[in-house]
Amino acid sequence: MAKVTIIGAGQTGATTAHWLAERELADLVLVDIVEGMPQGKALDLMEAMPVIGSDAKIVGSNDYQDTAGSDIVVITAGLPRKPGMSRDDLLEANTNIIRASVENSLQASPDAILIILTNPLDVMSQAAMIISGLPRERVIGQAGILDSARMRAFVAMELDISVRNIHCYVLGGHGDSMVPLTRHSNVAGVPLNVILSPERLEAIVERTRKGGGEIVGLLQTGSAFYAPSAALAQMVDAILNDRHLVVPASVNLDGEYGLSGIFFGVPAQLGANGLEKVLEYDLNDEEQAALEASAEHVKETIDELKEKLQIAA
């Protein structure tokens, strides 16, 4: 059985383990700095397996030795922004967490593919690539599946049509500047801008952009974790099963969409070796401009990151 390590056994990490264990996709190791908590969640999940009918083994640990030989390491470890904490403080704190997670994981599993969830997503993925020195094929950030799934859910609610028929593509940075491609998104092949009025479509686009905040506002404590973890599980599945599956994901661009050297949400084909290919849409001027504006946002924070890592931009 394949082995997958999840760093950060909080809401998203533990729920990712839940989805993966249920699908019997891999043996799992949940790692956290909090003592007892990953062990407790892992044991609880193990005790659910007889009911589910899965022989996946789930181990909780505070020790990276237990993660040795992992095929994939999913990093969800991070701090949420707390009152009084600036964006910059969060960037610094989470960069340090990414550093510890990446260095320790790769020491134990030198061949692992890294999937990053920690926010700010595109920048933390960049940090993981710089810190690890890995090629771009092996460092992939999760954001686009989630943003696109939110949009698909909103379209399904609006039209009362199966989510299976609804295909939405949200590209760009993971934040307010994300770019929902309404011309390319469709319901059973009918473009969204044909099936929905401009007003309804705009409302769905806006709700998608603010999807994370909507959940935070409702939960009061913590942020979304069911949809983010389902997205992580899909990426793990695509890699472990060598599916050559195209999903929106944050990858380090190498000239695609006219952008280089930054992590950015694009359609990415995933297989056994991680990133296989970036697909390029035929974008009109307006879409390309929106993408470039989003890239500017990401670049600014990446410059701050490079300063923190003391690497020349």
The H-or-E segment that residue 4 falls in is strand 3-7
Alpha-carbon distances, residue 40 vs 26, 229, 249, 274 (angstroms): 19, 19, 31, 31
Distance, in Å, from the CA atom of 287 to the CA atom of 270, rounded to the nearest integer, reads: 24
Q: Does 64 bind ligand APR (CB under 6 A)?
A: no
Minimum distance of ligand APR from residue 10's CB (angstroms): 2
Tell me the site size for ligand APR, rule CB under 6 A. Answer: 25
Please tell me the number of Cα atoms within 13 Å of 115 on its side-chain side. 33
The H-or-E segment that residue 28 falls in is strand 27-31
Amino acid present at 9: A
Q: Burial-class residue 250 by CB neighbours within 10 Å (0-12, 13-18, 19+).
A: buried
Minimum distance of ligand APR from residue 184's CB (angstroms): 26
Minimum distance of ligand APR from residue 96's CB (angstroms): 8
Q: Interface residues for ligand APR in 124-143 (CB under 6 A)?
A: none
Q: Interface residues for ligand APR in 223-252 (CB under 6 A)?
A: 223, 225
Give how far the C-alpha of residue 39 lies from the chain's centroid of Cα atoms, to the nearest Å. Answer: 24
307 φ/ψ sector (left φ>0, alpha ψ -120 to 50, else beta): alpha
Q: Interface residues for ligand APR in 5-34 (CB under 6 A)?
A: 7-13, 31-34
Out of 18, 174, 184, 244, the active site residue is 174
Tokens of 268: 């990415």
* Site stretch for ligand APR (CB under 6 A), options 111-119, 134-142, 242-250, 251-259: 111-119
- Closer of 152 and 174 to ligand APR (Cβ): 174
Q: Interface residues for ligand APR in 160-219 (CB under 6 A)?
A: none
297 is catalytic: no
Among positions 21, 58, 102, 117, the unique one binding ligand APR when judged by CB under 6 A = 117
Q: Which residue has the tokens 């083994």?
A: 57
* Site stretch for ligand APR (CB under 6 A), options 72-80, 190-198, 263-271, 295-303: 72-80
Distance, in Å, from the CA atom of 302 to the CA atom of 120, rounded to the nearest integer, reads: 10
Q: Does 74 bind ligand APR (CB under 6 A)?
A: no
Residues that bind ligand APR (CB under 6 A): 7-13, 31-34, 76-80, 97, 100-101, 117-119, 222-223, 225
As annotated, the active-site residues are: 174
